[in-house]
């Protein structure tokens, strides 16, 4: 999903940068996130905060379709 429309930066890109240890300011400098209209800043910061090292909960996309592994466990 595109988080920053002005700079075309996705949540996955922000998450990858956060996991690599980049500070939010560094992401702004490198990618330009939240440096134009600023409307994406709260969402971009949320993604960054959820994915930075030391956070217990990763930024995950959950779909409700059963995974093959889950189905295998249900059968066993």
Residue pair 55/49 in contact (Cβ under 8 Å)? The answer is yes
Question: CB 19 → ligand FES: shortest distance, Å?
Answer: 21
Count of residues in contact with ligand FES, rule CB under 6 A: 11
The phi and psi torsions of 10 (rounded to 5 degrees) equal: -90, 165
Q: Does 2 bind ligand FES (CB under 6 A)?
A: no
Interacting residues with ligand FES between 19 and 38 (CB under 6 A) = 34-38
Residue pair 34/4 in contact (Cβ under 8 Å)? The answer is yes
- Interface residue list for ligand FES (CB under 6 A): 4-7, 34-40
């Amino acid at each position: 999903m595109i988080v920053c429309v002005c700079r075309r930066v996705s949540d996955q890109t922000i998450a990858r940068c956060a996991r690599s240890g980049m500070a939010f300011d560094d992401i702004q400098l490198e990618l330009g996130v939240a440096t134009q209209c600023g409307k994406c800043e709260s969402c971009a910061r949320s993604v960054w905060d959820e994915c930075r090292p030391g956070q217990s909960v990763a930024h995950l996309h959950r779909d409700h379709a059963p995974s093959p592994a889950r189905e295998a466990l249900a059968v066993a």
